[in-house]
Structure 1
Amino acid sequence: MVVTVTVFTLCLWGGNALPFEWLPHDEGDRWMVATAFATVAATVTATALGWWAQHVPDEPPPVVPPSHVSQHATATDHSSAVQTGGDQNNPAPGSGSPRPGYLKQRATASGHGRIVQVGGDQNLAPAEDRDRP
């Protein structure tokens, strides 16, 4: 806005103060021509600045360092354990979250124990989700 007003003011002043032979000699006509010129110059300036402001690139998203995940699970008899290195049912299936930079999963099962290990995201269907511990 400030630049547009400045351009208008300078063009209006220049149209009246500078001695151009092709401008009318009558002061009223000279003001009219200077005002028209200043209006066109300010409009072109405002349009160019508006276009430029819309095309300025946004800041890139912040870089998230990879996480470190270390998990240990033991399942005995009829128990079960689930280890997930990423998100479980969050975010929505298909969107995926970044996998951890360091993932260590250790599991021990005995008897009828059951262990599920997933290195990334685990997106279960609603029925499967209810059956998990």
Structure 2
Amino acid sequence: MVTTVAAFTLCLWGGKTLPFEWLPRDEGDRWMVATAFATVAASVTATALGWWAQHVQDEPPVVQPSYVSQHATAADHSSAVQTGGDENSPGSGRARPCHVEQRATASGHGRIVQVGGDQYLAPAGDGERP
């Protein structure tokens, strides 16, 4: 907005004060031509800046790495899954934890899966995790 107003003001001032041979000599006509020129210049400036603003990509927010601590116990036929990062979110772009601590205890037929970073599980046909 400020740039558009500045473009209008600069063009209006230039059209009124600079000695262009092709501008009319009459004061009223000179103001009219300068105002029309300044309006067109401000419109072009606003259109160009609007187009540029639509095409500027915002930088993704910086996520500070964190500390992850997980503890799991699985017994008999139970299972536990520990993921230090994202699960089933490929390409999230988030920072991975800088420190992952995972502790697990399994007994019997218990099953534990531990992943320190991101894990993408493709869908399995029988509902089981791959």
Number of aligned pairs? 122
Question: Residue type matched to 2:114 in 1?
Answer: Q
Q: CA deviation at 1:43?
A: 2.9
Per-residue CA deviation, residues 29-81 of structure 1 (Å, 9 max, x unaligned), is x5435533553355335534653565476664332111211011122222211
Measure the CA separation in 2 of the matches of 1:24 and 1:125.
75
Q: Deviations over 1:2-41 (max 9, x none)?
A: 33443354345437xxxx695766x3xx543553355335
Correspondence for 1:80: 79
2:46 is equivalent to residue 43 of structure 1: no
User: Which residue number in structure 1 is paired with residue 123 of structure 2?
Assistant: 126
Structure 2 residues without counterparts, runs of 5 or longer: none
Partner of 1:95: 91
Structure 1 position 14 matched with structure 2 position 14: no
Question: Which residues of structure 1 form unaligned runs of 5+?
Answer: none
Q: Is the 8 A contact 2:74 2:105 kept in 1?
A: yes
Report the Cα distance in structure 1 between the residues aligned to 2:75 and 2:30, rounded to whole angstroms. 93
